[in-house]
Structures are given as structure tokens and as C-alpha cells.
A and B are shown apart, each in its own frame.
Chain A
Amino acid sequence: MKFLCTYFSANRFPPMMLIGCSAVLLIIMCTLSISIGTRVVAWQDIINGLMGSVATMEEASVAMRLPRTLLALLAGSALGISGAIMQSVTRNPLADPGLLGVNIGASFFVVIGLVWFGLSQMSHYVWLAIFGAATTALFVHVISAIGHDGATPLKFALAGAATSIAISSFIMAVVLPRNDIAGSVQSWQIGGVGGATYGSITLILPFLLIGGLLSLTVARKLNTIALGDDVAMGLGESVTRIRIHAWLAAVLLAGATTAACGPIGFVGLVVPHLCRLLVGIDNRWLMTLSALCGANLLLAADVLGRILARPSELSVGIVTAFIGAPFFIWIVRRQKVKAL
């Protein structure tokens, strides 16, 4: 691992090469995601399925894997970018839509809507999730900004962790007495892309697009914040405005993803962290690479889940947790955990 660290931190890979490699990998992953599944299919079935034929079971299952692949691709990139933004804006290498309570806040509102108001449509979920993500982000922000030194990275992480735990217990308390819906809440809470339809993708797509556009425009500004608030202001930026801009982007991306897939953990933590080791800390490259690698990771986790638990399948949220947890421990144990 030590060797890996020094090798990575040397930062020796040209960004365009890394982005090219991840793009090629993405094409391979998409092909795998369409061709590998619980049901074994032949090449001819795949081609027919892609053409839109659903005449046989094999062709139909290929056709069903298409929206699933698309959702994994979108969700993975959204979580990757969202994590990269949160790590940059909080200057905290452990920041992640999951750890800062944004995903769980999104689930909280969805669960409340489901349990108390009987809302069960995807179109409701999207708004609830984004509203929940934004409310939690704001709440965590306000809590950590109390005190004269403002929202320091440490206070941010602590406030996020405390809020996450509080909200999780609240979700439990809401769901436990309701046996009738506990199952559906639970399956949504684990996080997966298995239930993807073109309908649900269409619903979250506008939010992802706006979030992506906001991320694109905030990348360079985040490069100034990395040098400290005072230097950023000296370079002519308003730190508050950048923070709001960046949070809006991160919340839209993470919230919309959570609405469609449930809370998927660790992608937003692992992906930007590894990408930073590979491509360095310029947010313009970092966010692009995080989007590609996030998609790759989620597609790989989804395919792995289908292979590991044949003839059933594991939800992608479980697989990413299995990959992510050891990684999280590695990051924390790294000797040079410093503020970004």
C-alpha cells in the first residue's frame, strides 16, 4: 500500500490519457452490463434485444438491462461528481454525499412521503429526495457554521455524521411499526439500479443535467477555494457564493440519484479520492475523471452483484459498501490524511 501511495501521489499520468482510458473502460463496462446477467444469453440475443426485439425471454432480459445500464452510468457519474465537489468545498478528504447526510436526508423525505402521505410514484420521489437532500445539506451547514470560526472541515464532518445517525434512527422509528410497507422501504433503502425504467430515468434526467451544468461552471472557482478562503477572496471570488453554487450542484446530483436508486454509499467517497491520487487536484480534471470512474465503479458493482448471487442478485448498494468500507479504512489509516 505504501508503494501504491507514493506511486500515485507522484501524479505522473497525463490527464487526457487517464480520461481516454476510463472512457474505453466505460464502453467495456456498458457492454458487460448488457451481456452479463442472472440469465445467460447468446450474442444473437443481445443484438436482437438491442434492436428492440422482445420475442424470447433472453431478448427481453437484454432489453431490460438497457435502462438499468443507463441508470447505473448516470447515477455513478452523478455520485462521483457530487463527491468530488463536496470534498473540494469542505476541504475534507472524507466528505461524501453519504457521510455528510445528503443521501440519508433524501431517503428520509422519501420515506416520510411513503409512510405518512402514501406517495409512491417516482415523480414524487424525485422532488422529495431533492428537497430532503437540500434541507439536510442546509441543516448540516447551519450547524457547522455556528461559532465564530465558521464551517471548518472538521465541524462539517462531525455535524454531517451526527445528522446522518439521527436521521437513520428516525427513519427506523417511522418504518418499524408499519409492517405493511417496511419491505418496500427496506428494498429501496438498500440502493439499487435493478428497478430502472426509462420513465424513472426521464424523471431524474433534468435534475442531473442542471446539476452537471452547475458543476461544470463551479470547477475553476473551487480551485481558488482550495487555497483557503482568504486567498480565494484575494483572487476575486466570493467564497459564500461559490459554496452555495457548489452545494446546489452536489445536492441536485446526489438527491436525484437517491430518488431513482436509493442511497448508494461510498461511490462519492472512493471515486474522487482515487481520481485525485491519479490526476491531481485541479477540479476541472478531477470532476471529469470522477464522473467517468463513478460510472465505471457502479456498472462494475452492478455486474458483480448479478454474478455473485446467481440465480438471484445483490443490490448495487451492498456491493459498493463491500468495496467501499475497506477503502474507507485505508484512507483513514493513510499516514498523510491532511485537509485538502
Chain B
Amino acid sequence: MTARHTLSTRQLSAGYGDTSILNGIDITIPTGQITSIIGANACGKSTLLRTMSRLLTPHQGQVLLDGRSIHKMATKDLAQLLGLLPQSPIAPEGITVGDLVSRGRHPYHKLFSQWSSTDDVAITSALKATNTAELIDRDVDELSGGQRQRVWIAMALAQETDILLLDEPTTYLDVAHQIEILDLMVELNQDRGTTIILVLHDLNLAARYSDHLIAMKSGRVFDQGSPQHVMTEPTVHSVFGLNNKVISDPISKTPMVLPIGRYKQA
């Protein structure tokens, strides 16, 4: 599978009820790369991700997939191109890993269509990619947080989309599991060519794992580009209102933000 589809927004405004949270967003997500959306709480990160994945209908403007408005496309067709993992999804009681992952094949099925070998191949490959094959008969309830998140990602992978949007996939995970999930994102991006769009809270992990960063402030795009371009002292200060120092991450050579508070300065 190669990434062919491009996601972009034109003059996008969206929000809940009558209140607009996003104001005139114009972005193009680089195809076949990992993009992270960063910003302070309530800046519209999740709203942008939700509008781009059609969970929210824009007030104004459009979300375009290869130039076509996604809010006008047939929903099941779109679900074959664009996958989504919402923040902390809830598995129903008693569902097994195999059942959950196989539900990712839903967009490919008509009313009474039979399970096919294509479905089997997609699920096997999703389980293998997320290293969850040995969990297939387990109850999702019994799994650890990291395992559960990998299983949900496997469900999204079974959907076999060129574009995958994930809303804070590392929240509530310890640092080892955060790295595990982000390494998995890199593998998907490299092996499958999947375009990946993340909302991330950890700036240093975002800078390390992303090809492209979008920094948001008060419902607008403050700056976007490579981590080196976006993750600078003035930008971090403007976006988060935080004094900081940016150094080079000794591990990845990407920018690394050191926050400066009022206390604990040597």
C-alpha cells in the first residue's frame, strides 16, 4: 500500500453548538509522513482532529481529501481511506481481542456479505503489526493499558486506510508504553506508507517522532513545519505562555524543550 491520498482544510471553522473553536484553518497534511498537532489545552487540537475525521461538521470551510469535501463523500467509502482512533475508546464488556479487531473490517462489508480471505489477511497483518496476535482470544477487559491501546490500533489498521488519525494515543500510558506506541507509528508509516496524524501532549516526543508539526493557539494555526522550524523558544513561549530553553535532544538530535518555571533554577 502506498500513500496516495492527501488531506487538507480550506478556511475551516468548527466547534460545538454555536461556539466556534476553530477559526479559518488552512492546512495541508504532508502525504506519507507523521504529523503531530500540538498546543495548549483547549486550543482546538482535538476539535481540528475530530473535524478532519468527520466526527464534527464544519461551520464554515471544508475538509478536503484529494480535493473532494469529506463531508459530502459516502461515509463507507471515506472509511476505507481514512481511519480514526478517538481518545480513550471504550470496549464493550466481554469483547475479545479478535472480535474487536475484526470490527475494523466493517466498511468493506455490505448488508449480508460473507467474511472473506481478504478480511482474514487484513486482520492477521494488523495483529502482527501491533504484536497482539497472541492476545486474540483474550477479553479486552483483562489487558493492560498498553496492550489495550495496541489492540485498538490493530482495529484501526484492519480498516486498511491510507490515512490514520489518532487523538492522544499515548494518554494514560507510562513512558515505556508511550515509546512503544510511537515506535509502532513509525513502523506503520515506514512499512505501509500510512499518513499519520496525531494529537500529542508531550512536546519532546512530538518533536522526536514527527516529520511535521502544527502548533495551534486559540483556534488558529500559529506555526507549522519541521520540528526544527516549529520547536523554537519564541514559538513555545507564544503557544504555551511558558519560559523555556530549547536544546538538541542528545538521542535523536531533534529539538528538545526544557520548561523554565519560577522555582528550581540553579
* Partner-B contacts on A (CB < 8 A): 9, 11, 91, 148, 217, 220, 223-224, 226-228, 230-231, 233-238, 276, 280-282, 336, 338-340
Contact = CB atoms under 8 A, between A and B. Distances in A.
A228 B159 contact: no
A148 B16 CA distance: 9
Given A231-B86, A233-B54, A237-B75, A276 B94 contact: yes
Given A230-B84, A236-B79, A238-B75, A282 B99 contact: yes
Interface string B69-109: 00000011111100111100111111110011001101101
B195 interface: no
Interface string B191-224: 0000000000000000000000000000000000
A230 B55 contact: yes
Interface residues of B, number: 36
A230 B54 CA distance: 10
A152 to B, nearest CB: 12
B86 A228 contact: yes
Contacts of A238: 75
Contacts of A235: 79, 103-104, 106-107, 159
28 contacts: A91-B92, A148-B17, A217-B111, A220-B106, A220-B111, A227-B92, A230-B50, A231-B155, A233-B53, A233-B54, A233-B84, A234-B86, A235-B79, A235-B103, A235-B106, A235-B107, A235-B159, A236-B77, A236-B79, A236-B106, A238-B75, A280-B95, A280-B96, A281-B99, A282-B99, A336-B93, A338-B93, A339-B92
Contacts of B139: 9
Contacts of B76: 236-237
A148 B77 CA distance: 29
Given A148-B17, A236-B75, A11 B86 contact: no
Contacts of B17: 148
B72 to A, nearest CB: 14
State the majority secondary structure of interface residues on A: loop
A11 B111 contact: no
Contact of B89 (A9, A217, A231): A231
Contacts of B155: 227, 231
A237 B93 contact: no
A237 B106 contact: yes
State the majority secondary structure of interface residues on B: mixed
A227 B93 contact: no
Contacts of A227: 89-92, 100, 103, 155
A228 B89 contact: yes
Contacts of A230: 50, 55, 84, 86, 89
A234 B53 contact: yes
Interface of B: 16-17, 50, 53-55, 75-80, 83-86, 89-96, 99-100, 103-104, 106-107, 109, 111, 139, 155-156, 159
Given A220-B111, A227-B100, A233-B54, 18 more contacts: A9-B94, A9-B139, A217-B111, A220-B106, A220-B109, A227-B90, A227-B91, A227-B103, A230-B89, A231-B84, A231-B85, A231-B89, A231-B155, A234-B55, A236-B75, A236-B106, A281-B92, A281-B93
Nearest to A217: B111
Contacts of A234: 53, 55, 79, 83-86, 156, 159
Nearest to B105: A235
B102 to A, nearest CB: 10
Given A234-B53, A235-B104, A235-B159, A340 B93 contact: yes
4 smallest CB-CB distances across A and B, nearest first, come from: A236-B79, A234-B84, A236-B76, A230-B86
Contact of B107 (A9, A236, A340): A236
A281 B155 CA distance: 17
A230 B83 CA distance: 11
Contact of B94 (A91, A231, A233, A280): A280
Nearest to B95: A281
Contacts of A91: 92
Contact of A224 (B77, B95, B103, B111): B103
A235 B80 CA distance: 8
Contacts of B95: 226, 280-281
A336 B93 CA distance: 9
The interface centre, meaning the residue of A11, A235, A339 with most chain B CB atoms within 10 A of its CB, is A235
A90 B95 CA distance: 17
Nearest to B76: A236
B111 A223 contact: no
